[in-house]
Amino acid sequence: MKNSNTVRLVTIALLIAMEIILTRFLSINTPILRLGFGFLPIAVIGMMYGPLWAGAAYAIGDILGANIFPTGDFFPGFTLTAFLSGFVFGFILHGHEVTWKRSLLASCTVVLLFDLVLNTLWLSILYGNAFMVLLPTRIIKVAFAIPVETALIKITYDRILAGGRFIPKLQRQ
């Protein structure tokens, strides 16, 4: 395609806008917990364009969302978490058929390492609460997030992306 860079940038920009809307307006927010679907557009970017694009997109979405529609204090640690989450989605999902196993691996890695550990650390620094005090509530979130994220990533890949319209059919290895 002649304008593939333009198509890529416009696609990523639209998915960043979707991430901001899903995160800022269509999620449940408390001071220590956010339940939402903002991860899904970033997982799609990861599937389509790889880890660096997905990481950068999530970081940009976090910065834009925090500045345009603030829901709390801006803290750069959350932007780092966003970049790492997008990077992992791209690293695990890009260039492969998205199986249930890959979807589960991506979800578990992001939710356990970044949402549970890093974001809890950032919250404890930001609000002065002890890490262990925040952990029980956040563990409950993880219990719900892993199966939901796993299923949504797999379903999105199967229903929207795998048909070859957005991602060329992958060769079985």
pTM metric for this prediction:
0.86
Provide the CATH number for the domain around residue 100: 1.10.1760.20
Is 109 part of any domain?
yes
Query: What are 89-144's pLDDT values in tens digits?
Result: 999 999 999 999 999 999 999 999 999 999 989 988 888 878 888 888 889 888 88
Is 88 part of any domain?
yes
Is 173 part of any domain?
no
* Over residues 34-47, mean pLDDT: 91
Number of domains present in the structure of the chain: 1
Amino acid at 73: D
User: Residue 41: CB partners within 8 Å, gap ≥ 6?
Assistant: 15, 16, 18, 19, 22
Could you list the residue range(s) of the whole structural domain that residue 121 is in? Answer: 4-161
Is 168 part of any domain?
no
User: pLDDT tier at 28 (50, 70, 90 boundaries)?
Assistant: confident
Is 169 part of any domain?
no
Is 171 part of any domain?
no
User: pLDDT tier at 170 (50, 70, 90 boundaries)?
Assistant: very low
Mean pLDDT of the chain: 87
